[in-house]
A and B are shown apart, each in its own frame.
Chain A
Amino acid sequence: MSTIRGRLLVILALVIASVISLVPRHVTQRVPDAVTGRMKDTTVRRVPINLGLDLRGGVHLALEVDQSKGPVPDCADAIQRAERVVRTRVDEFGTTEPVVQIVGRCRLIVELPGEKDVNRAKGIVQRTAFLEFRITDMRNVFRDVIPSMDVALRAAGVRGPAAGPSNAVARLLGQDTTKAAAGADTSNTRGEGPLTSLLFQGSVAGEYLVPEEQWQKADSLINRAEVKRLIPRGVELFWGAQVESRGARSYRALYAVEDRPIITGDCLTKAQPRRDPLTNQSVVGFNLTHRCGRIFGDATARHVGDFMAIILDGRVQGQPPVIKSQIRNEGIIELGSRPFADAQDLALVLRAGALPAPLTIVDETTIGASLGVDSINAGIKAGVVGIILVVLIMVVYYRVSGMLAVGALALYVLFTLAGLAAFGFTLTLPGLAGFVLSVGIAVDANVLIFERIREELQHGKLVRTAVDEGFRHAMSAIIDSNVSTALTAFILYLVGTGPVQGFAITLIIGIAASMVTAVYVVRTFYMIWLQRRPDLVTLSV
């Protein structure tokens, strides 16, 4: 009597706990504000079961430290620092409940549920966002070595172009704004040097313009060993980010700048996208920390009248502006005519800070939201049909005992879902399949028990003894078989990734729940039944 009451209390407590963990609750989500576009917190009411990307659509990216340009010694450390930066960026990005997670040693997983614009997502996540401010080569030390670079290139067998009409036109165009680059005398005597012929002096000290169609050639020339060797100490070369047009032609700018940045992106405290009221162009305004503000102030005071290049991820942004007076702790980065969304994204990545190393995408999956809905619907339909079939088989075959098992099965479904919610596991499509399958397996324990009871009855045992014996003898088989399945599922969880893990989790929770319901709950049902009908001589099993 008291044992029955105790058992019922335990079951009741489990049911209440499960219902509580499944009741729709307020969940905090970050969503973009409709007016300002900034992220804000909001609460929604929903059932707290997380759906995987394959069920609700979205973008999945796996990233690793880019080692294509030389090995990174400690990728685990780099990925950990990258994880913090990416998390900050993604939190502001505009998807609800993003996942940023390190798997293995050196891999970062980013999941953006519901995100449709893959390219923007990749841009935000992958952008290094390393910002530097450097003074341009005011003393023209780079220009002075160009002739010796030409000589070195010729010695290495690189020929300059024969002077032709098209080249002469380019040259004229270059000359009508600025003075031609060095080497006018060499062109008279020996034809143009291979590098000289590509570079035209720009309007800013240290700026050289290269015709757009030839910039790749120029890039390969300045990256040759014999040229690199000749680049003077204290100078580095960077390409401009944008294509510039002068007259009818497009040019790309090459900048010679000091090798030491005044400050870098670490110094930024704020970064906001703005529209320049005068030119209506997109800009990003920034503020500097107190300490950096002092360094920046000192440096700009020394360099009044000089040009300062703003370099983002190794590309000079816009034309370097002239420093008109000392700048303390505020400034802007001009983006020219690029859309305002670009300024928003740049401000976002600057606020989050730079990545310690460039990241490369090794695995990418995008699932449309509609596909996810289709999957859920099909999965649920299959689940319902599967459960109905199982219920039919059990009730037809085991009659009243079968109904007890079906009652336990209902609790099983409840417990499993509650387990998924309580531990915050994500339900994926394979997980859904695993769940449907586990319903079939869940009744196995009951089948074992019922068959055993039938056998005991057959051997002439009394109903009460048969039930007791049936449960007792079936236990070892139930435990051994379930434990070995759970062990397999556990290994699946340890070794597997993403969807397979979700599947393994569902299976493990299902096994645990089925042990409770099939054995404990059904046993309690039997106890109540037998207590109500002590005179029972036949058992409906």
Chain B
Amino acid sequence: MIRLFANANYDFIKWRRWAYALTAVMIVPGLVLLLSTRLNYSIEFTGGTLIQIATPKAGHVGTAELRAALDAGGLHGAEIQEYGADTTFVIRARLGAEAATAEGGTQETLQAVTRALDAGLGAGHYQVGRYEAVGPKVGKELQGKAFLAIFFSFIVTLIYLAVRFEWRFGLAAVLATLHDILATIAFIRYTNLEVSLEVVGAVLLMIGYSLNDTIIIFDRVRENLRKYRRQNLYEILNLSINETLPRSILTHGTTMAATLSLVFIGGEVIRPFALVMTFAIFTGTFSSIYIAAPVLMLIEKRWPGQDARGARAFTGRAPEPAAPMLPRTLAKV
């Protein structure tokens, strides 16, 4: 029988300051970078034109040849990118200021790109895999909707947790999730992943996943608060995290197996989504332990609830004497 981290007794909460520092190092530069440069939004959000083409293996065509063809067609500054294989390319011609005036601008760009490629490569010498033309209006709407979705999911979660637990737990869970969103945005910034609809979907899914994880720990906290009347919150948080540790390892292991298989063999279209999800599992686990639990303690310290036994007494050091060991008998296996 394999047991991982069974009967673990780590003082997680003690390391919270280090955890804050670590996560700040991760998030803050990313957000600062965001101030100077925008995220790499896909054309679904910015509006514009995208064409994915497959070129024949024989007579290799590279980005240079494509660039020449597009320049000859008068399309300067188009973005050309290899997509998975070196015979597949994605060409993005975003709306310039001059074309942004009319919705029809995207259609014209599309035709211009096709003409330029026909002239440069020959009409039959490449295959169009897909193309998208998005008007700027649709893109703006999508941006708004993404924020709306995040906002509403916060509200609904707060209400649900307030009903099932109490508002202090809900607030701590939402703050931990907010941390995850910021961390993920920073991650997207560092990796320069293209923010497509799927990636936004991944960020939203991450909200669910991170909440899920936090709730598992909080559920144990709720139970232990009832069970161990003598312990204070600091000890109960540590105990709950330790007790749920094997579960966390197992669940994150299996989910990670699924997302990593998507990253490596799921194909080019789904890879950004899978990468964000993989990162989300990391940050979700981290924040459940190091953000949600300590934040709950801070909240209880400021606005003590019924169960916040002695939260006020602790300012970061483990209580003396150390938390008494709970009764442990070995399983009869």
Binding site for B on A (CB under 8 A): 54, 62, 68, 360-368, 370-371, 374-375, 377-379, 381-383, 385-387, 389-390, 393-394, 396-397, 399, 429-430, 432-434, 436-437, 439-441, 443-444, 447-448, 451, 454-455, 457-460, 473, 476-477, 480-489, 491-492, 494-500, 503-504, 507, 537-539
Contacts and interface: CB of A to CB of B under 8 A. Distances in A.
Interface string B79-102: 000000000000000000000001
16 contacts: A364-B132, A365-B130, A366-B132, A382-B261, A389-B261, A390-B257, A393-B253, A429-B198, A436-B258, A437-B255, A460-B332, A477-B219, A485-B208, A488-B157, A499-B198, A500-B201
Contacts of B264: 382
B216 interface: yes
B149 A484 contact: no
Interface stretch (B22-30, B242-250, B305-313): B242-250
B215 interface: yes
Given A443-B254, A447-B247, A489 B208 contact: yes
A481 B212 contact: yes
Nearest to A57: B130
B137 A386 contact: no
Contacts of B131: 364-366
- Of A368, A432, A507, the most chain B CB neighbours within 10 A belong to A368
Contacts of A489: 205, 208
B255 to A, nearest CB: 4
A125 to B, nearest CB: 13
Given A393-B253, A499-B198, A500-B197, A488 B6 contact: no
Contacts of A434: 205
Interface stretch (B70-78, B179-187, B265-273, B296-304): B265-273
B328 A458 contact: yes
Interface string B154-184: 0011001100100000000000000000000
B106 interface: yes
Contact of B254 (A368, A440, A537): A440
B128 to A, nearest CB: 6
B192 interface: no
A376 B265 CA distance: 11
The 7 lowest CB-CB distance pairs between A and B, nearest first, are: A378-B267, A440-B258, A440-B255, A389-B257, A382-B266, A488-B208, A485-B208
B251 A397 contact: no
- Of A54, A447, A494, the most chain B CB neighbours within 10 A belong to A447
Given A389-B254, A393-B257, 14 more contacts: A364-B132, A365-B131, A365-B133, A371-B129, A386-B258, A433-B198, A434-B205, A437-B255, A441-B251, A444-B255, A477-B219, A480-B215, A485-B208, A538-B333
Nearest to B264: A382
B193 interface: no
B103 A362 contact: yes
Nearest to A438: B258
Contacts of A499: 197-198, 201
Contacts of B325: none
Interface in B97-113: 102-104, 106-107, 110
B265 A441 contact: no
A489 B244 CA distance: 25
A457 B333 CA distance: 8
Interface of B: 1-4, 6-7, 52, 102-104, 106-107, 110, 127-135, 137-138, 142, 145-146, 148-149, 152-153, 156-157, 160-161, 164, 197-198, 200-201, 204-205, 207-209, 211-213, 215-216, 219-220, 223, 243-244, 246-247, 250-251, 253-259, 261-262, 264-267, 269-270, 273-274, 277, 327-333
Contact of B243 (A54, A455, A500): A455
Contact of A451 (B130, B157, B246, B256): B246
Q: Secondary structure at chain A's binding surface: helix, strand, loop or mixed?
A: helix
Contacts of B103: 68, 360-362
Contact of A487 (B133, B157, B254): B157
B329 A378 contact: no
Q: Secondary structure at chain B's binding surface: helix, strand, loop or mixed?
A: helix
A361 B134 CA distance: 9
Given A363-B135, A433-B273, A481-B211, A457 B332 contact: yes
B135 A386 contact: no
Contacts of B327: 459
Contacts of B253: 393
Nearest to B53: A368
A68 B101 CA distance: 11
A368 B201 CA distance: 23
A62 B258 contact: no
B254 A447 contact: yes
A486 B7 CA distance: 32
A290 B114 CA distance: 48
A489 B209 CA distance: 10
A485 B205 CA distance: 8
Contacts of B134: 362-364
Nearest to A455: B243
Contacts of B220: 477
Contacts of B160: 483-484, 487
B258 A429 contact: no
A390 B197 contact: no
A149 B307 CA distance: 90
A99 to B, nearest CB: 17
B6 A484 contact: no
A366 B128 contact: yes
Given A367-B130, A437-B205, A389 B258 contact: yes
B209 to A, nearest CB: 7
Given A488-B153, A496-B145, A378 B266 contact: yes
Nearest to B110: A364
Given A362-B135, A378-B267, A457 B331 contact: yes
Contact of A537 (B6, B215, B332): B332
A477 B221 CA distance: 11
B259 A440 contact: yes
- Of B198, B211, B274, the most chain A CB neighbours within 10 A belong to B198
A297 to B, nearest CB: 42
B157 A495 contact: no
Nearest to A484: B211
A495 B331 contact: no
Nearest to A473: B223
Nearest to A67: B103
Contacts of B244: 451
A484 B161 contact: yes
B210 to A, nearest CB: 10
Given A360-B104, A484-B211, A396 B197 contact: no
A458 B211 contact: no
B215 A484 contact: yes
Nearest to A370: B129
A364 B106 contact: yes
Contacts of A364: 106-107, 110, 131-134
A483 to B, nearest CB: 7
A485 B209 contact: yes
A440 B257 contact: yes
Contacts of A370: 127, 129
